Amino acid sequence: MFPKKERPFEKVFLVLGTFLCFFIILVALKASLLPPHLPQEYDSLNYHITIPRQHLIANSFSHISWATADLFLLPIDYALAPYWLATKLPNKLPQLFFAIGLFFVLFSIVDRVAEEKNLGKFLIAFAVLGSHFIGIQLGIAMLDIVICYLMFASLDSLLRRRYVFAAVEFTFCFWSKPQVPVLVLTLFILLLMIIYILKKLRFKIYFIFESIKSLKRSVMKKFSVYFLILSVAIGGPFVAKSIKHTGSPLFPFLVGKVNLNPEINVKSDNMLEIVKVSDQLLGVKGQYGKGRGISAFIKHLWLIAVPEKGVNNSYDYPVGLPYLLCLGPFILLFFENIKKKKIDLMVIFIILYWGLWWLGSQQTRFLYVPIIAMYLVVLSKKRFLTKVFSAGMIISLILVSLSIFRAHKSEFWKEHTEVLRLRDKKLIEMSKTVDRDQMTKLDFEDAAFADFPIFVTNYKSSMFVLNAEKILR
């Protein structure tokens, strides 16, 4: 498994790094065996599980009148719901399986692009697991790693000429969240513009290595046809629901500004309520980061990597040390590309993606794709793999190991029901006596443990609960 001419330092590096990786995965597995209950799992308790479950109970796809999140794009949530609900209590094992799948996909890509293929597989695993903002999400019921997997799985399938698989993976990724279609379409248009300009300037454009052949136009046409057909089935029902109830195809975007449903009365109580919550949802992006000026941009390159408030920072989860180790080499590669008039398409993708992230919600968990892509670009070059770099990787793995162990150690020996929130225990008790033919009123929306029909009232002015009682009156 090791490269043939390994020196003692390199063998110790690989063995110690592998041990730390297995430790992180083992802790994540232990955490994954517990039901969702952590504050970070609010989205899962609120709508990832709750919305599909309520639709399954009602045996209907019709809009749930009280649920703001029912107007989101939720194809991944619906696809994973049968697995989340396959156990007595809702579980979060699928997220861990996708995380492990991400490593196999990255290994496959490394096989095609790295100068040191065997060593490259170890390094990409060390870099990803050593990134705090990824390692800390392992064992937690969030979907960011799942979406990241779908993006890289699609890329790997394209490189392996498995175009149907690539289209399925990309389509689920594209329709995974309301902001993703906006991001991807903007990114695609900008990429085409940049490529056109670079070709006019006589730049040679390639993908990581010049030896990888460009995809033929006929192949991309075939991929596009598959994507459009699959989009009708995967994204279509959610887009139709959003148009029917908000007038916008991508709630919460453009609500009150675009109306594709002439039957909607834009001045009705219903629409005024929907416009209000859409504004609240879009306003969340202003809660992260330290501004969008030039000075803030330069500072954020450091600030996103380190803790600031306890274990977090203004950008949510700290990215970690591997990002800092790869940032310098990545910038160097970019300027070398410019000087030689040979530009890596992946480098352009990373820069444009990062720029769009900067203009949007500055949450580090939305940087999984460009940062892992950066790792692929840098770690594929043998000249950057120094002893200092290797030592930095080990330090980052140790820090993540300590962080993830500290985060979950208090619950290692607890039973499933012991870790549940009081409201979830209440829902389980209610399940034994509730009338399942009637709606049960609740005053909280994060009700994933309710296996009976619910109606949530907006006592707490949550933006995830529409004031349905007022509207229905």
What are the DSSP E strand ranges found in 213-364? 342-344
pLDDT tens figures, 45-56: 999 999 999 999
Mean pLDDT of the chain: 90
> 114 near 379, Cβ under 8 Å?
yes
Which backbone phi and psi does 455 adopt, to 5 degrees?
-135, 120
Residue 59 — left, alpha, or beta (φ > 0 → left; ψ -120 to 50 → alpha)? Answer: left
Instruction: For residue range 161-172, list pLDDT tens digits in order.
Output: 899 999 999 999
How wide is the angle at C-alpha 424 spanned by C-alphas 465 and 454, nearest 5°?
45
Work out the percent of the chain whose per-residue pLDDT is above 90: 70
Find the distance separating the first CA and the last CA of the chain, reported in whole Å: 69
- In order, the DSSP letters of 311-337 are TBBTTBS---HHHHHHHHHHHHHHHHH
348 — pLDDT class (breaks 50, 70, 90)? very high
DSSP secondary structure letter of residue 91: -
Torsion of CA 444, 446, 450, 455, to 10 degrees: 40
Q: For the residues 333-339, what does the mean pLDDT come to?
A: 92
Write out pLDDT tens, residues 410-465.
Answer: 998 899 999 999 999 999 999 999 999 999 999 999 999 999 999 998 767 788 99
**What are the extents of the domains in the chain?**
8-34+92-420
Residue 338 near residue 290, CB atoms below 8 Å = no
Tokens of 39: 């504050």
β-strand partners of 204:
342
Q: pTM score, two decimals?
A: 0.92
Q: Identify the pLDDT of residue 211.
A: 47
Whether the per-residue pLDDT at 288 is higher than 90: the answer is: no
At 170-215, the pLDDT tens digits run 999 999 999 999 999 999 999 999 989 998 998 888 876 554 455 5
Q: Which band of pLDDT confidence, cut at 50, 70 and 90, is reported for residue 2?
A: very low
Of 7, 127, 105, whose CA–CA distance to 378 is shortest?
127
- Confidence category of residue 145, pLDDT binned at 50, 70, 90: very high
